[in-house]
Amino acid sequence: MPQNGLSSGEPTINDVAALAGVSIRTVSRVLNHSPKVNDDTRTRIQDAIDRLNFRPSLRARALAKGRSFLIGLVHNDRNALVLDSVQRGIVREATRRGYEVIGHSVPMGDPGAAEDVLGFARRARVDGLVVMPPVSDMAGLPAALARDHVPAVAISAVPIEGYGAVLLSQERQAAGDVARHLLALGHRRIAMITGPQDMISAIERRDGFVDALADAGLAPVAEAEGDYSLASGVLAAQALLAASPAPTAIFAANDIMAAGVLKVAAEHGVAVPAALSVVGFDGSILAEMLTPSLTTVSRPFGDMAEMATRQLIAMIEGQMVAGQAPADIASPALSLIPAQSSGPCAGLERFSI
């Protein structure tokens, strides 16, 4: 060993302790964010870590703590834009706290879907799970995770019993805001393309939209059910715009289906928004890429995933009791983002589709 007391090769926790003049246990406390270290000592240890470019071994930490320092993300979202935002949010918080993230897609509709989630948690030996919709809405899953002692935080459009915590995505309220936006623009012949009606989030969006129209004494002039894909948005738009008289506004329950509406409108010379207003839902980057830019509901899933991860780690590390979310953490609001695809109603027109 060199005379300065430091080892050759990759720096170790022993090297940090020697350079800072403290015990290995004190260094460990700093690495694990323990409050039992005074500020001067913490600063001295952090300086030693920076000078040595020390990176703690995840394997060593796991052995010492009896944990894997792995967080699982379980999902069934085919929308790559939404999933990317979710993964970035989880990784942001997990990395900051010294955890790694591993993802798993769940086969929804399979009778063994809940067991699939449990099998993933056991195989990967994760310390806990962030559960995304529609997986989070699966009947029996919260109880199964609790029986297996797997900490889990869910994101959902509705409250769910049994998870350690649930961050609510207020999709019913946001869909109502879409209806009110179109009504304020003078639209009365308003149609909707819903998401799959076996998904809670899709049901919440439809109900919020329909309820807000009902408050104004109206109902959708037509509805078509999509599956959140571009193809289903195209088919639905073709059917809705073939009506006579056609709707002057269409709300599609996600941005991808709304892109299908814009595609059909462009192909048939229907001017947006002069003859037809179109609104989506998700607030994905796609909304800005479309021409015209898409009026949409911003759904900050990245921020929600980051918050869910923060709560999960608090549960894992014993800083939070399951079911008691910290008072200073609130689910971020969904907000309507007006853009070029929605405008004042210019009256009824007949389209040849």
Distance CA 132, CA 77 (A): 8
| 352 compared with 82, residue with greater pLDDT | 82
pLDDT in tens, 271-317: 999 999 999 999 988 999 999 999 999 989 889 999 999 999 999 98
Would you state the pLDDT for residue 127?
93
Confidence at residue 81, expressed as pLDDT on a 0 to 100 scale: 79
Q: Is the pLDDT of residue 212 over 50?
A: yes
Per-residue pLDDT tens for 236-254?
999 999 988 899 999 999 9
Q: How confident is the model at residue 60 (pLDDT cuts 50, 70, 90)?
A: low
Average pLDDT (328-333) is 66
* Per-state percent for the chain, helix, strand, coil, to nearest 5: 45, 15, 45
Which tokens hold the place of 345? 């109603």
pLDDT at 187 over 80: yes
Confidence of residue 52 (pLDDT cuts 50, 70, 90): confident
User: Would you say residue 336 has pLDDT above 70?
Assistant: yes
In the prediction, which pLDDT does 327 show? Answer: 39
Q: In which residue are the tokens 């229907």 written? A: 270
Q: Identify the three-state secondary structure at position 154.
A: strand
Question: Which residue has 């008289």 as its token pair?
Answer: 245
Please give the structure tokens belonging to residue 211.
């309820």
158 pLDDT higher than 80: yes
Query: What's the whole-number mean pLDDT along residues 36-45?
Result: 90
Over residues 326-334, mean pLDDT: 63
User: What's residue 352's pLDDT?
Assistant: 44
The Cα 7–Cα 2 span in angstroms is 6
Per-residue confidence (pLDDT) for residue 53, from 0 to 100: 86
With 0-12 CB in 10 A as exposed, 13-18 as middle and 19+ as buried, what is 308? buried
Whether the predicted pLDDT of 328 surpasses 90: no
Q: Following DSSP, what letter does each residue of 71-121 receive, concatenated?
A: EEEEE----HHHHHHHHHHHHHHHHHTT-EEEEEE--TT-TTHHHHHHHHH
Average pLDDT in the 79-99 region?
87
pLDDT of 4 over the 60 cut: no
Residues 13-38 as b or e (16 or more Cβ within 10 Å = b) = bebbbbbbebeeebbbbbbbeeeebe
> Under a CB-based contact definition with an 8 Å cutoff, are residues 237 and 222 in contact?
no
Which is higher by pLDDT, 234 or 350?
234
Please give the mean pLDDT across all residues of the chain: 87
SS3 261: helix
State phi, psi for 3 to the nearest 5 degrees. Answer: -65, -20
